[in-house]
Amino acid sequence: MAIAELKKGDVKDIGLADAGKRKIEWAQQQMPVLELIRKRFAKEQPLKGLRVSACLHVTSETANLMIALRDGGADIVLCASNPLSTQDEVAASLNRDYNIPTYAIKGEDNDTYYSHLRAALEHKPQFTMDDGCDLVTMLLTKRTDLVPNVLAGTEETTTGVIRLRAMAKDGTLKYPVIAVNDAMTKHFFDNRYGTGQSTLDGVIRATNVLLAGSKVVVAGYGWCGRGTAMRAKGLGADVIVTEIDPVKGIEAVMDGFRVMPMVQAAKEGDVFITVTGNKNVIRREHFEVMKSGAIVCNSGHFNVEIEIPALEQLAKSKREARPLVDEYTMKDGRKIYLIAEGRLVNLATAEGHPAAVMDMSFANQALSAEYLMKNYKSLKPQVYVVPENLDREIARLKLELMGHKLDVLTAEQEHYLASWNEGT
C-alpha cells in the first residue's frame, strides 16, 4: 500500500460511517469523566501538535478517547490492536467524521494487521498509546530510526505491561511508558467488571448457550478471572476455577468456587474461558478428555492461551457452526466448539467493555498523556504507574458523576488516624 493511500486510513467500508457515528455518540453519553477531560483539553491544548500513534481496540469507547486527545491538540492516527476486535462502522466514522486516520478492518489477516501497525508508525510518533505492546515492539525492533522522536507512551493492558517490564529490564525500552493498566481505577474495574460482563456477553451472543446449570471453567483468577467467575455464578453456572498461584487459588475457594487442575476440569466443563495472559493453558491433553459439545474460548490478550494447532491436529473435520464459532469433530466423534479463533471473545463476538467502565480506563489514558507531556524530560526509559493523585481524582469524579457521595473525616477523626498515642 502506498503511503499517500495509507494517510486516509484503511477501513472496511466508509459507507458504514453513519452507524459508527451513532455508536460513538451513544458511548459518549456514558463516558462523563472523559467528557470533562475532553472539554478541558479543548481549552488548554495540553497535547498541541503532538504526533500520536495509537494501537487500541477500535471500538466506540476508543473513538471517544481519540476525540478527546484530538481536541487536546494531538495529531493522531489509530490502528487496531487485534485483528478481530474492530467495529468497522466506528473505524469508518473516525476517518470520515472526525478526521482521525484509522487503519482497522474486522477479520483482517495477519499481513494486513501488521501493515496497519506499520502505517501507524509512518506517522512518526512522538507518543505511542498501545494495547498489548505490538506497536511498541515493532517500533523498537523494526523501526529503530523512529525511536529518537518518541518522547513517551502509555500501555493499556496486563499483557502489554508484562512485555514492557521485560523490555525495561534488559534495556530494550527507550522511553518512559505509563502502565495505565496498573491504575486502581483501571484494573479494579475494567479488568474485573468490564471483562466479567463482556466475556459472558460474548459467549452468549456467539452460542446462545444457557449458562444456568452449566459447568463453566475459568482459567486464571486474576482481575479478569474474578470478574468472569463472579458473573458466571450470577447467571447460575457451576463455576470451576483453575490457577497456578496458591493465594489466588485460596481466594477462589473462599469465594465459593471449586479449584482443580485443568486436566480434571477438562472432563467436567461445558464452557471454558481462559483469562491468564499465559500460553497453552488449554492444550492437547485437555481436548482429549473434554465432553462432546464443550465450548472453548479466550478472553486474555493473545490467541495463544488455547493450543489451537493441537485442536486442528486432533480433529478429523472442521466447519463453521455459527458465525465465529468453529465446530471441530474429533476422530472419536466428539465435537468441540472454539469461539472467535481463540481471540478475545468479548471484543470479537460482543462489543468489548461497556462504555461506563472504559470511562475510567480512558480517563487514565488521557490524563497520563497530559502528565507525560509535562514530565517526560525527568523520566527514565522505564515503566511508571499512573500518579496516585490522578487515579484518585478519576475515582472521585466517577463516583460524583454517578450520583454518589462519600463521607468526610471529622477533625477529631483526622487527628486520631494521624496519631500513634490515641489507641488506648
Closer Cβ to ligand NAD, 70 or 187, answer by number:
187
Q: Is 301 in the site for ligand NAD (CB under 6 A)?
A: yes
Residue number with the smallest Cβ distance to ligand NAD: 222
Q: Is 277 in the site for ligand NAD (CB under 6 A)?
A: yes
C-alpha to C-alpha distance for 335 and 290, rounded to whole angstroms = 9
CB 18 within 8 A of CB 111: no
Q: Is 158 in the site for ligand NAD (CB under 6 A)?
A: yes
Q: Is 222 in the site for ligand NAD (CB under 6 A)?
A: yes
- What separation, in Å, do the N-terminal and C-terminal C-alpha atoms of the chain show? 75
Q: Is 398 in the site for ligand NAD (CB under 6 A)?
A: no
**What are the DSSP E strand ranges found in 287-349?**
294-298, 315-322, 325-330, 335-339
| Stretch 17-76 residues interacting with ligand NAD (CB under 6 A) | none
C-alpha to C-alpha distance for 217 and 348, rounded to whole angstroms = 20
C-alpha distances in angstroms, 97 versus 60, 75, 172, 298, 299? 13, 15, 38, 33, 31
Closer Cβ to ligand NAD, 46 or 269, answer by number:
269
Q: Which of 81, 86, 242, 365 binds ligand NAD (CB under 6 A)?
A: 242
Which of 234, 209, 200 lies closest to 353, judged by CA? 200
Considering only CA atoms, give the Rg of the chain.
22
Q: Which of 157, 197, 349, 368 binds ligand NAD (CB under 6 A)?
A: 157
Q: What are phi and psi of 33, to 5 degrees?
A: -70, -45
Which of 16, 9, 15 lies closest to 89, judged by CA? 16
Q: Is 257 in the site for ligand NAD (CB under 6 A)?
A: no
CB of 200 to ligand NAD, least distance (A): 11
Q: Which of 278, 310, 341, 382 binds ligand NAD (CB under 6 A)?
A: 278
Span near ligand NAD by CB under 6 A; candidates 33-41, 73-81, 285-293, 298-306: 298-306
Q: Which of 9, 46, 83, 300 binds ligand NAD (CB under 6 A)?
A: 300
Q: Which residues contact 63 (CB under 8 A, 6 or more apart)?
A: 20, 24, 27, 90, 93, 94, 98, 100
Closer Cβ to ligand NAD, 95 or 242, answer by number:
242
C-alpha to C-alpha distance for 384 and 405, rounded to whole angstroms = 31
CB of 36 to ligand NAD, least distance (A): 24
Q: Is 360 in the site for ligand NAD (CB under 6 A)?
A: no
CB of 19 to ligand NAD, least distance (A): 23
Residue 218 is placed in which grid cell? 475459568
Span near ligand NAD by CB under 6 A; candidates 102-110, 154-162, 327-335, 372-380: 154-162
C-alpha distances in angstroms, 88 versus 8, 17, 357? 15, 8, 22
Using CB under 6 A as the criterion, which residues of the chain lie in contact with ligand NAD when the complex forms? 157-159, 187, 191, 195, 219-225, 242-245, 248, 275-278, 281, 299-301, 344, 346
